[in-house]
Amino acid sequence: MTDTTENSNKPERNTRDLVKAAVSGWLGTALEFMDFQLYSLGAALVFHEIFFPGQSAAMALILAMGTYGAGYIARIVGAFVFGRMGDQVGRKKVLFITITMMGICTTLIGVLPTYAQIGIFAPILLVTLRIIQGLGAGAEISGAGTMLAEYAPRGKRGIISSLVAMGTNCGTLTATAIWALMFFLLDRGQLVDWGWRIPFLCSAVVMIFAIWLRMNLKESPVFEGVQEQDEQQGTPIDQDNTIGAMLRSKSFWLASGLRFGQAGNSGLIQTFLAGYLVQTLLLDKSIPTDALMISSVIGFLTIPLLGWISDRVGRRMPYIIVNISAILLAWPMLSLLTNGASSVGVMMASIIIIHNVAVLGLFALENITMAEIFGSRNRFTRMAISKEAGGLIAVGFGPLLAGIFCNITGDWWPIAAMIVAYSGIGLISAFLMPEVADRDLEHPEDAADIAAPGHSARATRTLS
């Protein structure tokens, strides 16, 4: 009996190589989510005046969120194009392209002319940059997650992959801190005139360092091992990497459901809720920005903790528990947050709790679980498309729908109802998935297609 572990064909990588891969993934994810939060807060707090003036407050917020959603349509195209490229020519080359596309577009948003300067061409240019940005972002976090999972040793994949998840935290924290500083230092007129540009221009620093690091990064050892094996056997590197084959994969639908739950909560809590509190409930802008900043700091503890726990007990049970917690907390936390009698401290605590559970808690488990659930030859493509397919409606259009529903009802309860629905979909997907912790990443098959729900797909052994 021979154990066909991931070490069979995988080239050796030392600790220095692992550190480079970890920092590279962390930086790339930080830049992606820095852009995410820079734009989401900009859309919620000032873009309605800069790019969509002359509209009612509610309609301007809807238009700003609609522009935000345009980038997510492009992401799924980028996921397919760059995902397939990553499975064919390697993770490293694609990650260099994606980080460059994202970084340049984020920086260019900071030099865009406003509606007052060039009229309708201002929002058109904004949408164009969001689309190009989305093409790169569609494969960035999946590529980083794939690369780091394929570098990490068994038994430590969850805690090491949490570095990618903490990159989201770093990006969110940095962007939120910059916006909070802008609101502290500048008055409203200065912010609308020129201050809103500073956060986007600051992203260039992260971009330059990330590009330099990826130029010096070695290829994934799993990809090189599988590539060598396939060349010896004459097997196409991206075998069965078609839309039809992907749609027939149970793993693809389960991974999309897991992503849908987390991404939907993220879009509502980190994007729409900030604008709703400020524009509709007329709360001080510092409340959502400060709360998200504090929550991101706390996330530096909760994210690696959940990654470590998943290494000890598996991925499936923590997913189930966190989704149930998000469902149970949604209504009471939103109720406290929108209650006019609540103190500022209570409102901020409500944001922190629901954000750490429904957003950061789920994301701590997402990257490593999705990397392990897919097979070696199609991992990048299927992980990227499942992430973006799950996020397209949930994140791209969730805030837009939330704005419409809240505008129709004149109340906050649609936000809580949507969080419950998103978390419910994630819960069902987690319940149906097999256990994938420490699965052989060189195995070509998707985990759910070779294991029954609730069973383990960790080891694959063949007779010799």
Say if residue 362's pLDDT is above 80. Answer: yes
Cα–Cα distances (Å) from 281 to 77, 81, 107, 318, 420, in that order, read 37, 42, 32, 35, 22
Give pLDDT, residue 60.
Answer: 60
Give pLDDT, residue 11.
Answer: 60
Cβ(32)–Cβ(367) below 8 Å: no
Give pLDDT, residue 462.
Answer: 32
Structure tokens at 379: 């991992």
CATH architecture, domain 8-462: Up-down Bundle (1.20)
Please name the residues in contact with 340: beta carbons below 8 A apart, sequence gap of 6 or more: none
- In tens, the pLDDT along 406-417 reads 888 888 888 999
SS3 291: helix
Give pLDDT, residue 1.
Answer: 33
Most confident region among 114-118, 323-327, 371-375, 383-387 by mean pLDDT? 323-327
Structure tokens at 129: 């940059």
The predicted model gives 367-395 an average pLDDT of: 88
Give pLDDT, residue 5.
Answer: 44
- In tens, the pLDDT along 53-105 reads 765 566 666 666 666 666 777 888 899 999 999 888 888 889 999 988 988 98
The CA distance from 364 to 184, in Å, is 31
Of 264, 203, 218, give the one whose Cα is nearest residue 28: 203
Give pLDDT, residue 64.
Answer: 63
Most confident region among 237-241, 288-292, 394-398, 447-451 by mean pLDDT? 288-292
Point out the least confidently predicted range of 66-70, 257-261, 360-364, 431-435: 66-70
pTM score = 0.81
The CA distance from 326 to 353, in Å, is 9
- In tens, the pLDDT along 226-256 reads 777 766 666 655 556 677 888 888 999 999 9
Cβ(211)–Cβ(103) below 8 Å: yes
Say if residue 331's pLDDT is above 50. Answer: yes
pLDDT confidence tier of residue 355, bands split at 50, 70 and 90 = very high
Cα–Cα distances (Å) from 431 to 227, 249, 318, 460, in that order, read 33, 17, 11, 22
Give pLDDT, residue 134.
Answer: 85
Cα–Cα distances (Å) from 293 to 23, 113, 136, 300, in that order, read 22, 29, 26, 11
Backbone angles phi, psi at 236, to 5 degrees: -60, 140
User: 420 or 182: whose pLDDT is higher?
Assistant: 420
The CA distance from 145 to 371, in Å, is 7
Cβ(20)–Cβ(32) below 8 Å: no
What are the structural domain ranges in the chain?
Answer: 8-462
What single-letter amino acid sits at 311? D
Q: Tokens 């524009």 appear where? A: 279
pLDDT confidence tier of residue 460, bands split at 50, 70 and 90 = very low
Q: Tokens 């510092």 appear where? A: 286
